[in-house]
C-alpha cells in the first residue's frame, strides 16, 4: 500500500501542508527543526493512532495558534490499498468551554468520511517505523515491549485493538474494586464479573501474542542469520505473567530460557486457565490493590545465542537484533495483511554502518513506498538520490529538490 496524499492542518509546525505523494522512496532532506520528522509522525499516526514522539495528543496541535473557543488540527491521508483508495482523517479538537485554563481535548477518526471508533480503524493503513529511539524495544521496560507488540498486532490482526481496549477497561474496573475491597472489605464475588471479562479478552490477547511472537521470531531469526553472517541465533522469548503451561515436576516455574511452545493452547484453554488463576490470586490482588496477573504484565525478551540481549547484549548486538526484528515486521505485516506496509525511517541511515545500510536498501527496494528523513544528503549515494525522490523541507515548506 502507499499514500497518495498527506494533508496537515495545524499539526505541529504545519499550519497547512498538502502533499501529493508518489509510489516511491522519498527522502525528506533539510536542516534541523524544519518539519521532517513531523511529516513521518503524521503518516505513522494513521497506522497507530498515537504518536511515537508526543507523550500526549494535545502536543500535536500547533502551539502558535491564537486562542479560540475551538481549535482543530487535522491529518488527512489518502492511500491506495490494493485496487481501492481510501481516506483516513484524524481530527484533534480542543475546546474551551467555561474555564479558559482547562480546555477539553478529544480526537475523532473518519474512514472515507464516516466517523469510526478507534478500534475500527486500526489496520486500515499499515506502516512500519524505524526510529532512533526504538532501542527502547530491547533496552527499555516491559511496557515498551508490550506497546511495540500491541501496535504491530493492532495493525496486523483484526479485532486485536478491540480486545485490547476492552481488556484495559475491565482491568481498570477490577483494580478500582480491588482497592475498595482492600480499604473497606466486602464480598469478593463482585470480582467475578471482571474476571470473566479479563479472561475472555486476555485469552485472545495472549493467544495473539503467542502466535505473533512465533511468526516474528521465525522471520527475525532468518534475517538475523544473514545480518550476523550466521554467528548469532536470535530468539524472541515470550514470558507471560500468567503462565498457561504447567511447570515441570518439582519446579516452581518453567526454566528461564527453555524452548516452550504455547502455540498449541486454544483460546478456550487460555481463558479457563486464566480465569482460575485470577481467582486464585484474590488474596494477593486485594492486599496489593491491583491485578497482579495477566497480559498487562507480560514480557518478552530478545535472546542472542542464549544470552539475554536486553541485560547482557552490547549496543551493536542490540541494534542488529532490532534491525532483524524490524525487517521481520515488514515481511510479517505483508504476510498477515497481503499488503506491503509503508516504511517510515527517521534519521536511521546515519546510525548504520555501510553494510547495514546496504541491507536496508534491499528492504526499501521491496516495499511500495518509503519516507526517509535526513539532515545530510551526503550520506546517500548519487545512485540513490537519482533513483528516488528527494524533497527539501524548510521551515514547514516541502519542495521537490
Ligand X SMILES: Nc1ncnc2c1ncn2[C@@H]1O[C@H](COP(=O)(O)OP(=O)(O)OP(=O)(O)O)[C@@H](O)[C@H]1O
Q: Which residues bind ligand X (CB under 6 A)?
A: 12-13, 30, 32-38, 59, 61-64, 373, 375, 393
Give the nearest distance from C-beta 12 to ligand X in angstroms.
4
Q: 131 vs 210, which CB is nearer to ligand X?
A: 131
3-state secondary structure of 13: coil
Closest CA to 19 of 75, 83, 60: 75
Select from Mg ion, ligand X, none the partner in contact with residue 62, using the beta carbon and a kind-dependent cut-off of 5 to 8 Å.
Answer: ligand X
37 binds Mg ion (CB under 5 A): yes
Contact assessment for residue 154 and residue 148, using Cβ atoms and an 8 Å cutoff: no
Closest CA to 124 of 83, 80, 187: 80
Count the Cβ atoms, other than its own, within 10 Å of residue 191. Answer: 22
Q: How many residues bind Mg ion (CB under 5 A)?
A: 1
Select from ligand X, Mg ion, none the partner in contact with residue 63, using the beta carbon and a kind-dependent cut-off of 5 to 8 Å.
Answer: ligand X
Give the nearest distance from C-beta 94 to ligand X in angstroms.
11
155 binds Mg ion (CB under 5 A): no
Select from Mg ion, ligand X, none the partner in contact with residue 386, using the beta carbon and a kind-dependent cut-off of 5 to 8 Å.
Answer: none
Q: 219 vs 373, which CB is nearer to Mg ion?
A: 373
Exposure letters 134-150 (e unless 16+ CB within 10 A, then b): beebbbeebebbbbbbb
**Percent helix, strand and coil across the chain, each rounded to 5?**
45, 25, 30
β-bridge mates for residue 303, sequence order: 235, 308
Select from ligand X, Mg ion, none the partner in contact with residue 33, using the beta carbon and a kind-dependent cut-off of 5 to 8 Å.
Answer: ligand X
Q: 36 vs 296, which CB is nearer to ligand X?
A: 36
Q: 38 vs 331, which CB is nearer to ligand X?
A: 38
Give the nearest distance from C-beta 373 to Mg ion in angstroms.
6
Select the residue whose beta carbon is closest to Mg ion and give its number: 37
Give the nearest distance from C-beta 357 to ligand X in angstroms.
19
User: Sheet of 307-308: strands edge to edge?
Assistant: 234-239, 299-304, 307-308
Determine the distance from the C-alpha atom of residue 114 to the mean position of all C-alpha atoms in its chain, rounded to a whole number.
24
Question: Could you list the residues that contact Mg ion (CB under 5 A)?
Answer: 37
Amino acid at each position: 500500500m502507499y499514500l497518495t496524499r498527506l494533508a496537515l492542518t495545524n499539526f505541529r509546525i504545519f499550519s497547512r501542508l498538502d502533499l501529493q505523494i508518489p509510489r516511491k522512496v522519498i527522502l525528506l532532506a533539510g536542516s534541523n527543526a524544519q518539519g521532517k520528522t513531523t511529516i513521518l509522525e503524521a503518516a505513522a499516526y494513521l497506522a497507530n493512532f498515537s504518536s511515537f514522539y508526543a507523550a500526549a495528543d494535545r502536543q500535536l496541535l500547533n502551539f502558535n495558534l491564537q486562542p479560540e473557543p475551538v481549535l482543530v488540527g487535522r491529518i488527512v491521508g489518502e492511500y491506495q490499498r490494493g485496487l481501492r483508495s481510501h481516506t483516513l482523517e484524524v481530527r484533534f479538537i480542543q475546546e474551551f468551554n467555561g474555564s479558559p485554563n482547562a480546555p477539553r481535548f478529544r480526537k475523532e477518526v473518519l474512514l472515507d468520511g464516516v466517523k469510526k471508533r478507534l478500534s475500527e480503524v486500526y489496520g486500515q493503513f499499515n506502516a512500519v517505523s524505524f526510529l532512533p529511539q526504538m532501542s527502547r524495544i530491547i533496552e527499555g521496560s516491559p511496557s515498551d515491549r508490550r506497546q511495540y507488540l500491541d501496535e504491530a498486532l493492532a495493525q496486523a490482526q483484526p479485532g486485536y485493538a478491540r480486545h485490547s481496549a476492552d481488556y484495559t477497561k475491565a482491568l481498570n474496573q477490577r483494580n478500582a474494586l480491588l482497592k475498595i475491597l482492600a480499604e473497606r472489605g466486602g464480598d469478593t464475588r463482585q470480582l467475578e464479573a471482571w474476571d470473566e471479562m479479563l479472561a475472555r479478552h486476555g485469552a485472545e490477547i495472549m493467544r495473539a501474542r503467542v502466535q505473533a511472537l512465533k511468526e516474528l521470531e521465525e522471520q527475525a531469526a532468518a534475517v538475523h542469520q544473514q545480518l550476523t553472517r550466521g554467528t548469532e541465533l536470535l530468539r524472541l522469548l515470550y514470558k507471560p505473567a500468567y503462565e498457561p503451561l504447567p511447570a515441570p515436576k518439582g519446579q516452581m516455574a518453567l526454566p528461564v530460557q527453555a524452548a516452550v511452545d504455547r502455540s498449541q493452547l486454544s483460546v478456550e484453554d487460555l481463558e479457563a486457565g486464566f480465569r482460575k488463576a485470577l481467582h486464585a490470586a484474590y488474596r494477593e490482588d486485594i492486599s496489593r490493590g491491583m491485578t497482579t496477573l495477566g497480559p498487562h504484565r507480560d514480557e518478552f525478551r530478545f535472546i542472542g545465542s542464549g544470552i539475554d540481549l536486553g541485560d547482557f547484549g552490547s549496543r551493536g548486538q542490540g541494534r542488529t537484533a532490532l534491525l532483524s526484528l524490524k525487517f521481520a515486521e515488514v515481511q510479517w505485516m505483508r504476510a498477515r495483511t497481503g499488503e506491503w506496509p509503508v516504511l517510515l525511517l527517521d534519521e536511521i541511515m546515519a546510525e548504520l554502518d555501510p553494510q547495514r545500510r546496504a541491507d536496508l536498501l534491499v528492504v526499501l527496494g521491496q516495499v511500495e513506498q518509503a519516507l526517509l528523513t535526513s539532515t545530510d544528503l551526503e550520506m546517500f549515494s548519487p545512485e540513490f538520490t537519482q533513483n528516488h525522490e528527494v524533497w527539501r523541507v524548510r521551515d514547514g515548506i516541502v519542495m521537490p529538490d
